[in-house]
Structure 1
Amino acid sequence: MSSHVSPALANLRILDLTRVRAGPTCCRVFADFGADVIKIEAPPGVDPNEGMSGARDGSDMLNLHRNKRSITLNLKTPAGLEVFKRLVATADVVVENFRPDVKERLGIAYEDLKAVNPRIILASISGFGQSGPYRTRAGFDQIAQGMGGLMWVTGLPGQGPVRAGIAVADTSAGLYAAIGILVALAERERSGEGQWVQSSLLQAQIAMMDFQAARYLVEGVVPQQAGNDHPYSTPMGVVRTADGFINIAVGGQGQWKAFCVAIGRPELTDDPRYATLDLRFKNRPSLNTLLADIFATRASQAWLEALEKAGVPAGPIYKMDDVFADPQVQHLGIATSVQGDDGKEVTLVGQPIGLSRTPAQFKALLPEAGADNDAVLGELGFDASAIEGLRKEHVI
């Protein structure tokens, strides 16, 4: 991919105070689309949780923090706070994922920032929300997965709660925060004023439950574990083949008829046990047993070809190396390379958003902490002597 910066959001400056995953996920959206994202980190030895996000040159940090500049700033010092407020005066958005009380203690709550720059948008991502009885609790993805209902619908029936294999709550909270920022930016075009955007892991996880949550709220149904089967549609899920596993997804009656023909059992179309979606769901155990015997007779690829020919949705179940070897995945270009300062290319996960004129671009890997101190402070009007003074005072 080109090392040029996307012009899409090049007019924006984002101050990134975040760490771990939810906040960096939010800021990554803006960085990939060309915003000037300044990652603000504590100088060495200041943050008691230093290194919590893993090795700086590790895959996770590189993937989360590409396309950003980095400065170090001790916000616990008056001079550091003053530098930060001078940055706020030049910025459009501040993103933070401290516990809610921390920004109040530091003097960087929304009202503090608004007093410096009425157009500023503060995006706060927390574990449980900015108010309420749990506001000061530390939040982590798996805690939110459990409290948001995901772990109780994941896994095999009777297995007990199972976490998802990815950070669903973290990632979705970051993406929801990015959406909120974009809404606030659009609204600011009319009002001229910023506002406070809030997202939390708990809210995001509940929102991601979507139809499962709605089933309870509207119908009073408490969803249970369904394993690899769809919660209420059958046959839709995982089947074992002669050499592995595939996913099948049979929707309406037309697909059911085509499916029965494709598997060589056209008589099942009108079988009184399976003639309608409701009957298939009611009799899912017997249908699953019947299909298990059928699909065990042929290899995965043979079944996938037969089902595709019949117009029945089906797909392989990949490990990660298989994912990036797939021709469609390669065509989509979501594995995107960027060249480091040492000339070596690193391949990361690209944005799953396509824009026809101003697509996301990768321009740089995460720099060393504070690599852009001189440049950013120079933009604020600090001369070399003043910068050196801040360095001696351990402000940067």
Structure 2
Amino acid sequence: MEQALKGIKVLDLTRVLAGPYCTMILADMGADVIKVEAPIKGDDSRQFGPYVNGESAYFMSINRNKRSITLNLKQPEAQKEFFKLIKSVDVITENFKPGTMEKLGLGYEVLKAINPQIIYAATSGFGHTGPYSARPAYDGVVQAMGGIMSITGQKGGKPTRVGPSVGDIMAGMFTAIGILGALHYRTENGIGQKIDVSMLDCQVAVLENAISRYMATGISPKPEGNRHASIVPFEPFDTEDGEIMIAVGNDSIWHKFCTQIQRADLISHELFASNPLRSENYELLSPIIKAIIKTKKTLEWQAIFDENGIPNGPINNIESVVNDPQVNHREMILEMDHPIAHKVKIPGIPIKMSVTQGAVYKASPVLGEDTESILKTMNGLTDEEIETLKTLGAI
């Protein structure tokens, strides 16, 4: 099957999560991603547990479909080979602290002189400009600084870090979007460019209605627990045997919901007839709904709501998610065959394309497993030259 990014070569200097998540997206769509790692140690996340036969499950989950080459970029001999690779790739990605690539003599202006069409994508904590630019950052830091923690958690409780590393993941997704935009522009105009993505910027960008609420009221939003800040009812409710998430997103659904819970009198009630009224009178409405939902089991309510087009769902743990029939029908849990870890299950590809569907065709690479083949096929090196580089510690 044809893939959307077939023929695009990416030289990937990123490590841990934000950058590797970006290049995973590109690799899943067919880009040839060459992961550049330090000899012996490799990507830091190779040391993150849990492990399967000594291989990091963390690393394997986000580095599928990539090749691995080891280069000690502090050595002139390795830099020489790196510059050769730059001539034949479309994109380079890095997520070092700003200024690191320049110190190595590998900054954008240097690489642009070698390959004027290169797309240089940099992902960092705070971006390449601004007063915080030189500061290091990890996911927890930008979640804290970006405001998302301040609106996450139980009502009246302390700010809470979101479970998945959304500071990294959002930055990786936005970087991938930037690269795709730059590739299209280059196709139209023949010009490469630098992409500068800040993890903090990305957190601000996904605050949804929190900023608009602050701008409209002058009051900083606080955690609301599991309820929606401006849509009611939109939260989980206890059932007879568990919990169910109910999302009544508009007045039409409200009408159906009231009918199915046998409270048609609430449809046009003067306190609950519209979403603004339901939000204003939440404290009065919530206990009414809670008492009703508590009378049936979760599956009973699911059947009723599903039949009548009322958005709802169980609160799944991870075991339930990976065994969910919808999740598996959509191939969102895939098995790959790793040379050391053997059979490993990982998340699938959420983008479904009718003509150029992405695929997981290769397990994450063992450190440096493609070094020799890349240096031979792309840089034209001989076995003897490769052995010399090994002796020098360049690879």
TM-score bin (small chain):
over 0.9
Q: RMSD of the alignment, in Å?
A: 1.8
1:51–1:252 Cα change, 3 Å: closer
CA drift of 1:53 comes to 4.6
Matched, 1:381 2:380: yes
One-letter code aligned to 1:242:
E
What residue is the counterpart of 1:29 in the other structure?
25
Matched-pair contact (CA < 8 Å) for 1:128–1:134? yes
Q: 1:43 aligns with which of 25, 39, 61?
A: 39
Q: 3-state SS of the aligned residue for 1:355?
A: coil
Distance in 2 (CA, whole Å) between partners of 1:363 and 1:313 is: 35
Structure 2 residue runs of 5 or longer lacking an equivalent are: none
1:357–1:343 Cα change, 3 Å: farther
Identity %: 39
Q: 1:350 aligns with which of 345, 348, 359?
A: 348
Distance in 2 (CA, whole Å) between partners of 1:262 and 1:151 is: 36
Aligned counterparts, 1:27-106, within 5 A: 27-44=23-40, 53-54=48-49, 57-106=55-104
Distance in 2 (CA, whole Å) between partners of 1:210 and 1:278 is: 19
What residue is the counterpart of 1:329 in the other structure?
327
One-letter code aligned to 1:391:
K
Post-superposition CA distance 1:197-256 (Å, at most 9, x none): 111110111111122223334554522211111111111111111111111111222221
Q: 3-state SS of the aligned residue for 1:70?
A: strand
Post-superposition CA distance 1:82-124 (Å, at most 9, x none): 1111110111000000000211111111101101100111100
- Is 206-215 or 285-294 further displaced after alignment? 206-215
The alignment's TM-score, normalised by the length of structure 2, stands at 0.95
Distance in 2 (CA, whole Å) between partners of 1:227 and 1:303 is: 22
CA drift of 1:52 comes to 5.3
CA drift of 1:348 comes to 1.1
Post-superposition CA distance 1:122-178 (Å, at most 9, x none): 100000111111111111111111111111111111101011111111001001000
Post-superposition CA distance 1:356-396 (Å, at most 9, x none): 12211112112221111110110211111111000000000
Matched-pair contact (CA < 8 Å) for 1:239–1:247? yes
Equivalenced residue count is: 391
What residue is the counterpart of 1:121 in the other structure?
119
One-letter code aligned to 1:34:
G
One-letter code aligned to 2:371:
N
- Is 293-302 or 268-277 further displaced after alignment? 268-277
What residue is the counterpart of 1:250 in the other structure?
248
Q: 3-state SS of the aligned residue for 1:209?
A: coil
Matched-pair contact (CA < 8 Å) for 2:46–2:55? no
- Is 113-122 or 268-277 further displaced after alignment? 268-277
Structure 1 residue runs of 5 or longer lacking an equivalent are: none
Distance in 2 (CA, whole Å) between partners of 1:279 and 1:317 is: 27
Distance in 1 (CA, whole Å) between partners of 2:319 and 2:65 is: 26
Matched-pair contact (CA < 8 Å) for 1:19–1:53? no
Distance in 1 (CA, whole Å) between partners of 2:42 and 2:251 is: 63
One-letter code aligned to 1:283:
N
Distance in 2 (CA, whole Å) between partners of 1:338 and 1:302 is: 37
CA drift of 1:344 comes to 3.7
- Is 280-289 or 217-226 further displaced after alignment? 217-226
- Is 377-386 or 325-334 further displaced after alignment? 325-334
1:50–1:27 Cα change, 3 Å: closer
Q: 1:158 aligns with which of 134, 156, 159?
A: 156
Aligned counterparts, 1:219-238, within 5 A: 220-238=218-236
- Is 326-335 or 163-172 further displaced after alignment? 326-335
- Is 339-348 or 201-210 further displaced after alignment? 339-348
What residue is the counterpart of 2:263 in the other structure?
265
CA drift of 1:316 comes to 1.1
One-letter code aligned to 1:278:
P
Matched-pair contact (CA < 8 Å) for 1:242–1:297? yes
